[in-house]
Copies of this chain bind each other. A is one copy, B any other.
Amino acid sequence: MTDVHVVGTGLLGTSLGLALVRAGHDVTLEDAVPTHAALARDLGAGRLPGPGEPSGPDLVVVAAPPDVTAGCVLDALRRWPQAVVTDVASVKGVVLRALEASGVDLARYCGSHPMAGRERSGAVAGRADLFDGRAWVLTPTTATARSATDLVATVARAAGAAVRELDPASHDAAVAVVSHLPQLASSLVAARLASLDDDAVALAGQGLRDVTRIAASDPHLWTQILAGNARAVREVLSGLADDLDRVLEALAALEDGGDVPGARGTLAAAVAAGNAGQARLPGKHGATPTAYTTVRVLLPDEPGQLGRLFADIGEIGTNVEEFHLDHGLGQQLGLAEVDVVPAAAAGLVHALADRGWRIHG
Chain A interface helix/strand/loop/mixed: helix
What's the number of copies of this chain in the assembled complex? Answer: 2
B223 adjacent to A267 (CB under 8 Å)? yes
- Does A227 lie within 8 Å of B244, measured CB to CB? no
In this assembly, does A127 line the interface, its C-beta being within 8 Å of a C-beta of chain B? yes
Query: Is there contact, CB below 8 Å, between B323 and A324?
Result: yes
List residues 164-204 of chain A with CB under 8 A from any CB of chain B: 164, 166, 170, 173-175, 177-179, 181-194, 196, 199-204
Which of A190, A244, A257, A324 has the most chain B CB atoms closer than 10 A to its own CB? A190
Point out the residues of chain B lying under 8 angstroms from A312, CB to CB. 307
In whole angstroms, what is the CA distance A208 to B202 when docked?
25
Count the A residues whose beta carbon is within 8 Å of the partner chain — how many? 146
Please determine whether A203 and B137 come into contact, CB atoms closer than 8 angstroms. yes
A355 at the binding interface (Cβ < 8 Å): no
Q: CB-CB contacts of A212-236 with B at 8 A, as 1s and 0s?
A: 1111111110110011001101101
Chain B residues with Cβ below 8 Å from A214 are 207, 210-211
**How many Å lie between the Cα of A310 and that of B297 in the bound state?**
16
> Is A282 part of the binding interface, using a Cβ–Cβ cutoff of 8 Å?
yes
The answer to whether the Cβ of A206 comes within 8 Å of any Cβ in the partner chain is yes
Contact at A241–B241, with CB atoms within 8 Å?
Answer: yes
Taken together as a complex, chains A and B put the C-alpha atoms of A329 and B125 apart, in Å, by 7
**Interchain CB contact (< 8 A) of A199 among B170, B196, B301, B304:** B170
Asked if A274 contacts B186 (CB within 8 A), the reply is: yes
Task: Tell me, yes or no, whether A51 is within 8 Å of chain B by CB.
Answer: no
